Amino acid sequence: MTLLKDQRVLVIGGSSGIGLAVAEAAVAAGAHVTIASRSQDKLLAAIEKLGPGTDSAVLDTTDELSLQSFFVSRKAFDHVVVSAAQTPTGPLRKLALTDAQAAMESKFWGAYRVARAARIAERGSLTLISGYLSERPSASSVLQGAINAALEGLARGLALEFSPVRVNTVSPGLIDTPLWSKMADDAKAAMFSRVSENLPAKTIGKPEHIAKAVLFLMTTPFATGSNVRVDGGGAIA
């Protein structure tokens, strides 16, 4: 595939999970890919997996000055994807306010800072990863839904402000990523089985499913201000 031949793609949060799957798909489509995250060790492991022609950078989306310095030192990217986030969750009255603020700081304000600092080619794109809880709230994850809805609103507004740069969101459902690695294997398998039985698609999402949606938005010049939900039908179940 050459859909992204010789284009420059930056994936923030590209060292694992959805971000790494996006990086792999972009490499396969012919792009020159740079992955960024806070962990040098994870970046090194991911670069080894991605192979030659890829680059990495240690970036913290909560650090405005480092983001600005990074983008000033690089040529404009054709496409920027933001999947990085650390988001503690729980019922509103049980989740510590400091944890709630940290979640918003990471996922919403992190993406906001990237959008503010990023240098993107005129006909390029910015893609943010939100989540289906923006449309189907959970009683135990109210904050997550609010953050995702805020990201989607941000993207729609930026699609107007940044035009002709295109700005979109991809909204995943439950995805089998390293996020769940702290769970015991049997508990995780039981949870995935229970959730998949309740989904119309009868399956749990994989990072590569979300990567395909991101590449669709990168390579479709008519897509901006859009939200592509890939959730196995979770929002309608």
pLDDT one-digit tens code per residue, 96-110: 999 999 999 999 999
pLDDT at residue 1 is higher than 80: no
Q: Tokens at residue 147, please? A: 């953050």
| Mean of pLDDT values over 60-89 | 94
Distance of CA 100 to the CA centre of its chain: 19
Report how far apart, in Å, the C-alpha atoms of 52 and of each of 28, 34, 80, 214 are.
12, 11, 20, 22
pLDDT at residue 79 is higher than 80: yes
Residues 6+ apart with CB under 8 A from 104: 143, 147
CA distance 63 to 148: 21
- 171 contacts 141 by C-beta, under 8 angstroms: no
pLDDT of res. 53? 80
pLDDT one-digit tens code per residue, 123-177: 999 999 999 999 999 999 999 999 999 999 999 999 999 999 999 999 999 999 9
pLDDT one-digit tens code per residue, 24-74: 999 999 999 999 999 999 999 999 999 988 999 999 999 999 999 999 999
pLDDT of res. 181? 80
